[in-house]
Amino acid sequence: MGAMSAKTKAKTQESEHAALGLTDDDVLEMYYYIALARALDDRMWVLQRAGKAMFVISGPGHEGCQVAAMWPMDKKKDWFVPFYRSVAACLVKGMSPADLLLGLFARANDPSSGGRQMPGHYGHPGVKILSTSSPVGTQYPHAAGIAYASTLRKTGEVTMVAIGEGGTSQGDWHEALNFAGVYKLPCLFIVENNEYAISVPLRKQMAVGSVAVRGAGYGMPGVSADGSDVLECYRVAKEAYDRARRGDGPTLIEFRVPRLGSHSSDDQQERYRPKEELERVRQRDPLKTFGAYLQRAGLLTDARKQEIADRIKREIDQATDVADASPEPDPTTGARYVFAERGAADA
Amino acid sequence: MGAMSAKTKAKTQESEHAALGLTDDDVLEMYYYIALARALDDRMWVLQRAGKAMFVISGPGHEGCQVAAMWPMDKKKDWFVPFYRSVAACLVKGMSPADLLLGLFARANDPSSGGRQMPGHYGHPGVKILSTSSPVGTQYPHAAGIAYASTLRKTGEVTMVAIGEGGTSQGDWHEALNFAGVYKLPCLFIVENNEYAISVPLRKQMAVGSVAVRGAGYGMPGVSADGSDVLECYRVAKEAYDRARRGDGPTLIEFRVPRLGSHSSDDQQERYRPKEELERVRQRDPLKTFGAYLQRAGLLTDARKQEIADRIKREIDQATDVADASPEPDPTTGARYVFAERGAADA
Amino acid sequence: MPEVRYIDAINQAHHLAMEHDDSVIVMGEDVGAKGGVFGATMGLLEKFGEWRVIDTPLAESSIAGVAIGMSVNGLRPIAEFQFADFIHPAFNQIVSEAARMRYRSNNAFGCPVVFRAPYGGSHGTALYHSQSIEAFYAHVPGLKVVAPSTPYDAKGMLLAAVQDPDPVLFLEHKRMYRLVRGEVPGGEYTVPIGPAVVRREGTDLSVFAYGWMLHETLQAAETASKEGINAEVVDLRTLAPLDKDTILKSVAKTNRALIVYEDNRFLGYGAEVAALIAEEAFESLDAPVLRLGGPDVPGVPFAKKLEEWFSISQEKILAAIRKLAAY
Amino acid sequence: MPEVRYIDAINQAHHLAMEHDDSVIVMGEDVGAKGGVFGATMGLLEKFGEWRVIDTPLAESSIAGVAIGMSVNGLRPIAEFQFADFIHPAFNQIVSEAARMRYRSNNAFGCPVVFRAPYGGSHGTALYHSQSIEAFYAHVPGLKVVAPSTPYDAKGMLLAAVQDPDPVLFLEHKRMYRLVRGEVPGGEYTVPIGPAVVRREGTDLSVFAYGWMLHETLQAAETASKEGINAEVVDLRTLAPLDKDTILKSVAKTNRALIVYEDNRFLGYGAEVAALIAEEAFESLDAPVLRLGGPDVPGVPFAKKLEEWFSISQEKILAAIRKLAAY
Ligand SMILES: Cc1ncc(C[n+]2csc(CCOP(=O)(O)OP(=O)(O)O)c2C)c(N)n1
Ligand SMILES: Cc1ncc(C[n+]2csc(CCOP(=O)(O)OP(=O)(O)O)c2C)c(N)n1
Ligand SMILES: [Mg+2]
Ligand SMILES: [Mg+2]
């Protein structure tokens, strides 16, 4: 992208995104990733309903803020500690659609777990995405620890960790922010607030409207951005990223996002969310809002849109075939990797 | 006290404490409790050094805010969930010096645990002080639960819970405040900030100077008061108490107090605290500061002071004799009360 | 008596307990509007309201800790952990607080809390939605641990747990929720916490199991009987405190013992049962005490073939029965 | 070789590990300026500075969780829990995360963290400063658990633990810190995690112990020998993974087994050792496998007489040895 960015910089002086230092190619690529994540997401649900996968959990509605927050990151150098909704973030960080589908199908070469974990438990050593577990909240202290190591080892790495607003109620969330605040760690603490923890609404999760207010209690800035405003999400993320790079410490970022789907393939949100509300949140779909911005900016012509859609379809079809053709784990490997196989005493 | 309060109300119109609705008898009794707690504290350390007790942990420097915070409480009706520094608070709530010394000596009739727990682990069903354990932080959710039950059962009880500033780093602390905020529970969350967690200084415990700022993150007021200013401590506690009674929810209260002694009889604070600092904190001794106020107010003459000191000495001597004469637990009782003895099925 | 599913029996117990005692409340993640992710608390919110059916914040330590506080102030909470795997953050509150409150206060305070936890592997539940946690908690004095295997026991023991003056960890193997059906009286009744029960009389050997494993074991015993092996099957039901007598009586009769459990084998619950038999039934043993437990790997892997490799199937149980009988 | 105390051996290992590997860091409550409440980390802050010797906030779950994060990013943390009793808030991080990271990621990530925990009852340590926690953690696949009983092993096994690519729970019975002395080489050396060791050769019966109980057992065995009972004493040292061979070899020789542990008896660590022997050494057993464990009450009571009632003394061990020999 680097080359292209330079090439097209000139003609985007006036636009909103240019004011933020984003080229036309940047924003178009951001749109591509949002659309890719959404299409992959749809595909995963289709495959699950078709019986090709036992379970799906994904992030429809969360893609905009995820792509925006990942954009300033150094994909090779920085760390990402995801959660199950981080489909778009993992794609931008460097996982391929096939990587994610290999997890969905639980195949031997699933880079996240070799088919050992449920779908949605992302991880990839090659692109510095830490392995995810299911217990909500445990990832926050991990991120603080990774960032501490980066500081002590002077690697210049920045760490980004994501969680939902329900996860902020966990003790680990508090302990991580407190620790990171004391040591001014280069860390972005993301909270993707979709106003529900499965069926539990925000008002039963916390007594405040925005979790960003808690930053002050840890000696760090707390900011909140509308997840449907992708450029605003980028702006706050970039600011936090620069702060971290400068050594000025962590930032707590809340992205207010719509949860467009049910919690997971085991949930039916119609049972606890009013119809009107479901319609209302659909208006906040970042794919629509960002697409509309790019149209206004004259960057996303119908032709261009179709082109991107076709490319995505091709890529996902290919990825599905690749994943589907991959072998299942060999049952004789079930006992492996309880411990490192080179044995105890030698590190 | 009721009668006496009325009797002496007239002549105290001008004073600071009168402005807060406290009678001369109130403040003199508050002074008595602060002095009693301090004297009992000194006695416990003497007994420990003399080999009469294995261990002591107590609250020198914390007495002022404890007495002040307990003062608005309904001693019979309200709940108190203490920690190991709550010597003065437990005395005001209704435990006797003998009750505390029975715990120090681990005697059979120790009301806190029958000699089963280490000294400093207070509890007393008769005066609604919940049993204390050692793990720091666990008491905070208990207080929220007690307060929830009070609300649901419409008992009108208010609950006060205390912890040190180190304890605020625990996940349980966060979870309790979050829960209490959501349900607007009638609860006072006290943090006695003495700037050390054993040897760990405040700056390594949190990135903020005052933990009170965290109240906002839980939708509750957070206030901070100087623990050497006993009347100010009373004022903020009274306000929080009234708020709780009105059904307006919990308050987070930080009392900034000096830790006049070592963490416990197993610690030597001289090893990690500079001499000057130790001298500085001695100036903040609430016994001195409150005594000085009462002298200025013309309430604490030297004669009156001596009188109180003599009374306290008598009471503590008596209490020591009573406790010392009490029998040790019968070893054959060691297996009792793992479960209720009336057995499982009947409640 | 009507036949109902295990999950229905659990749900009935909730309704009855809450109807008959205002101090009973239910709390946990998604127990309200959603009625629980497995439906255990379905219909409670509508009937008893938000203050008695609490959709808690996503924080297990405080679910336990708040329940403990409620229980010392006149309430009888039933606290649901959405999956047993997620009870771990509450370990300190349950072990250090709930289980010790009565002993440490010399009987001044007690914690009548029921901690419910759906445990065990079902299909595709993987590392973090399949765990067996009984070994961690049955080791903790002051805590009662039960794992009923029939709808009748599930309802009766849950009602007994709610009335118990002490904390009870109530384990429900999630595989049974919709698979296991049985006759259950409509009204209130209790099944005492404590006694184990012989589910199948036998003479050649004794197999001890609980929860879902009891059902796999009964099937295996059935097959074994066709091969002329007459296995006695004992449902432990209450894991702590353990009913030694029923166990020892059975071994005294059959002289052979096998313990079947789904949890990791090493230091799993079966270890205590085996150790008990080895010490107190030594003279009557004609064969080694066998344990069939899950492999000692950190969790049940997700991929179907790996899951099968991990799981304790009827075939594996049958093989163990044959081996023990042949000894 | 110089004679040093157990605590000195632990302290030496810290200094050497940090000198020889910059990626080794120490973290915990009061490990810095105070040098640890038992002195294990004395002198480290002065030598290695605040960033490698971290006085953490009072929050055990994050002590474990942050250490895990450090360990996946190039550091080798030694995380101290001030007392084993206070490791409970970190249960979820240790069990769900540290122990499972390698398995769940199919070997992509590992957690080389050493979790140190002073455990066990000393005088006046009561319910919350006396706990034995090995049964909880030795049951967890993916976690190594050691409990060295001599200064030599303590230093060598701590250095081995720091070099281990996987998480190790390092248990130090606090009673030994100042009481137990032994010869320890000044320099670096490792004692492998895994093998148990026979501390006393014997022919009449085998006693298995670890940590402080090993010392009480050796004393009891000495007394027993004067009565003509020749007990073999095995120091298990590593509780997970367990060295079965050494155990079975000893029982094959003596035909009698006793396991001594201070933790609550029910489902305590001894249960696994007893179950192992009952299953794999059945033919060589001339007597029931005996276990001597602590009473099943929620903790060690404080009052001296109650504490004595709880504690496993030489006398109690000797009585068990006599009983086993007389069988
Ligand atoms: C410790 C723990 N408790 C419970 C669960 C079950 N669970 C999975 S996701 C979820 C809700 C999470 O809500 P939130 O944090 O808001 O994220 P969202 O799913 O809304 O994006 C729950 C309760 C879990 N995985 N871990
Ligand atoms: C969970 C837990 N971890 C560690 C300890 C050991 N410990 C006892 S008191 C204490 C320091 C508490 O500091 P703070 O909360 O500030 O209260 P203070 O003693 O200063 O009044 C520590 C670390 C404990 N009791 N519980
Ligand atoms: Mg959410
Ligand atoms: Mg303090």
pLDDT in tens, C192-247: 999 999 999 999 999 999 999 999 999 999 999 999 999 999 999 999 999 999 99
Ligand 1 atom having least distance to the Cα of A170: 1
**What does the pLDDT read at residue B1?**
36
* Mutation choice for ligand 1 from C62, C86, C127, C174, CB with most ligand atoms inside 8 A: C86
pLDDT in tens, C157-167: 999 999 999 99
* Mutation choice for ligand 1 from A136, A140, A170, CB with most ligand atoms inside 8 A: A136
**What does the pLDDT read at residue D49?**
98
Name the closest residue on chain C to residue B114, using Cα atoms. C106
How many Å apart are CA C109 and CA C113, to the nearest integer? 12
- Measured between its terminal Cα atoms, the distance across chain A in Å is 39
Which has the closest alpha carbon to B267: B196, B199, B194? B199
How many Å apart are CA D278 and CA B93, to the nearest integer? 56
How many Å apart are CA C324 and CA D2, to the nearest integer? 54
Q: What is the 3-state secondary structure (H, E, C) of D170-200?
A: EEEECCHHHHCEEECCCCCCCCCCCCCEEEE
Tokens of A341: 């196989």
C62 to chain B, closest Cα gap in Å: 6
**What does the pLDDT read at residue A14?**
74
Ligand 1 atom having least distance to the Cα of A138: 1
Pairing status of strand D181-183 against strand D197-200: unpaired
Specify whether the CB–CB gap between A55 and A118 falls below 8 A: yes
- Chain D within 8 Å of C266 (Cβ-Cβ)? yes
- Is pLDDT at B14 greater than 90 in this prediction? no
Q: What is chain A's Cα-based Rg?
A: 20
Distance, C-alpha A286 to centroid of its chain = 14
Considering the candidates D129, D139, D173, D215, report the single residue annotated as catalytic: D129
Nearest beta carbon to residue B141 from set C52, C66, C190: C66
Could you tell me the CA-to-CA distances from A226 to A161, A203, A213, A236, A255 in Å, in that order? 18, 18, 15, 10, 6
C92 to chain D, closest Cα gap in Å: 5
pLDDT band at B342 (very low <50, low <70, confident <90, very high): confident
This model's pTM is above 0.95:
yes
Ligand 1 atom having least distance to the Cα of A85: 21
- Chain A within 8 Å of D324 (Cβ-Cβ)? no
* Average pLDDT of span C10-27: 98
* Average pLDDT of span C13-19: 98
Specify whether the CB–CB gap between D226 and D259 falls below 8 A: no
Residues at CB less than 6 angstroms from ligand 1 = A 85, 134-136, 163-167, 192, 194, 196-198, 263; C 29, 58, 60, 82, 86, 89
Q: Is the CB of B258 under 6 A from ligand 2?
A: no
How many Å apart are CA A18 and CA C305, to the nearest integer? 52
- Measured between its terminal Cα atoms, the distance across chain D in Å is 43
Specify whether the CB–CB gap between C169 and C117 falls below 8 A: yes
Residue nearest (by alpha carbon) to ligand 1 atom 7 = A136
Q: A335 to chain C: which residues are within 8 Å by CB?
A: 295, 297
* Average pLDDT of span B247-276: 98
Q: D32 to chain B: which residues are within 8 Å by CB?
A: 199-200
3-state helix, strand, coil in chain D (%, to 5): 40, 20, 40
Q: B335 to chain D: which residues are within 8 Å by CB?
A: 295, 297
Phi, psi torsion values for C181, nearest 5 degrees: -120, 160
Asked if the Cβ–Cβ distance from C91 to D92 is below 8 Å, we say yes
**Residue C63 in 3-state DSSP?**
helix
Q: What angle do CA A266, A270, A271 make, to 5 degrees?
A: 80
Kindly give the distance from the C-alpha atom of residue C78 to the centroid of ligand 3, in angstroms, as a whole number: 25
Classify domain C3-183 at the CATH superfamily level.
Thiamin diphosphate (ThDP)-binding fold, Pyr/PP domains (3.40.50.970)
pLDDT in tens, A33-45: 999 999 999 999 9
Q: What angle do CA A78, A81, A86 make, to 5 degrees?
A: 110
- Chain C within 8 Å of B258 (Cβ-Cβ)? no
**What does the pLDDT read at residue A342?**
74
Q: Which residue(s) pair with A189 in the sheet? A: A161, A252
How many Å apart are CA A193 and CA A205, to the nearest integer? 11
**Residue A152 in 3-state DSSP?**
helix
Asked if the Cβ–Cβ distance from A178 to D59 is below 8 Å, we say yes
Q: Which chains pack against C, by 3+ Cβ pairs within 8 A? A: A, B, D
Name the closest residue on chain A to residue C39, using Cα atoms. A267
Kindly give the distance from the C-alpha atom of residue A212 to the centroid of ligand 1, in angstroms, as a whole number: 19
Give the residue carrying structure tokens 């039933």.
C78
Kindly give the distance from the C-alpha atom of residue A344 to the centroid of ligand 2, in angstroms, as a whole number: 35
B75 to chain A, closest Cα gap in Å: 30
Annotated catalytic residue D129: yes
Pairing status of strand C290-294 against strand C257-264: parallel
Kindly give the distance from the C-alpha atom of residue B109 to the centroid of ligand 1, in angstroms, as a whole number: 47
- Chain A within 8 Å of D51 (Cβ-Cβ)? yes
The identity of residue B261, as a single letter, is G
Ligand 1 atom having least distance to the Cα of C88: 1
Ligand 2 atom having least distance to the Cα of B192: 21
- Chain C within 8 Å of D269 (Cβ-Cβ)? yes
Q: Which ligand is nearest to the CA of D37?
A: 2
Give the residue carrying structure tokens 């760090």.
A220
Q: Are D3-183 and D197-326 in the same CATH fold?
A: yes
Domain locations along chain C: 3-183, 197-326
pLDDT block averages, 10 residues each, chain A of length 347: 43 80 98 98 98 97 98 98 98 98 98 98 98 98 99 98 98 98 98 98 98 98 98 98 98 98 97 97 98 97 97 98 98 98 53
Asked if the Cβ–Cβ distance from D34 to B199 is below 8 Å, we say yes
Q: Is the CB of B65 under 6 A from ligand 2?
A: no
- Angle separating helix axes C244-254 and C269-280, nearest 10 degrees: 60
DSSP B192-210: EE-SEETTEEHHHH-SSS-
Q: D125 to chain B: which residues are within 8 Å by CB?
A: 118
Phi, psi torsion values for C169, nearest 5 degrees: -90, 115
CA dihedral B320, B337, D273, D84 (to 10 degrees): -50
Give the residue carrying structure tokens 């289709």.
A46
Alpha-helix runs per DSSP H in chain C? 6-20, 44-48, 60-72, 91-92, 101-104, 134-138, 151-163, 176-179, 212-226, 244-254, 269-280, 304-310, 314-326
- Chain C within 8 Å of B207 (Cβ-Cβ)? no
Class in CATH terms, D197-326: alpha beta
**What does the pLDDT read at residue B2?**
40
The identity of residue A299, as a single letter, is L
How many Å apart are CA D260 and CA D233, to the nearest integer? 10
pLDDT in tens, C112-142: 999 999 999 999 999 999 999 999 999 999 9
How many Å apart are CA D124 and CA C236, to the nearest integer? 38
Could you tell me the CA-to-CA distances from C199 to A7, C159, C234 in Å, in that order? 78, 22, 6
Kindly give the distance from the C-alpha atom of residue B58 to the centroid of ligand 4, in angstroms, as a whole number: 12
Interface B-C, measured as beta-carbon pairs within 8 A, has a size of 159
Nearest beta carbon to residue C103 from set B110, B151, B338: B338
pLDDT in tens, B116-157: 999 999 999 999 999 999 999 999 999 999 999 999 999 999
pLDDT block averages, 10 residues each, chain D of length 327: 95 98 98 98 98 98 99 98 98 98 98 98 96 98 98 98 98 98 97 98 98 98 98 98 98 98 98 98 98 98 97 98 98
Q: Which residue(s) pair with B25 in the sheet? A: none
Q: Is the CB of B121 under 6 A from ligand 2?
A: no
Measured over the CA atoms of residue C246, residue C248, residue C252 and residue C256, the dihedral's sign is positive
A99 to chain B, closest Cα gap in Å: 35
CB atoms within 10 A of CB A293: 19
Name the closest residue on chain C to residue A201, using Cα atoms. C55
Element (H, E) at A3: helix A2-9
Cβ-count burial A236-260 (b if 16+ within 10 Å, e if not): bbbebbebbeeeebbbbbbbbbbbb
Contacts made by residues A299-302, CB under 8 angstroms, sequence distance 24+: A299/A24, A299/A27, A299/A28, A300/A28, A300/A31
Tokens of D28: 């915990």
Which has the closest alpha carbon to C166: C221, C231, C238? C238
Q: Which chains pack against D, by 3+ Cβ pairs within 8 A? A: A, B, C
β strands within chain A, DSSP E: 79-81, 159-164, 187-193, 196-197, 200-201, 222-226, 251-256
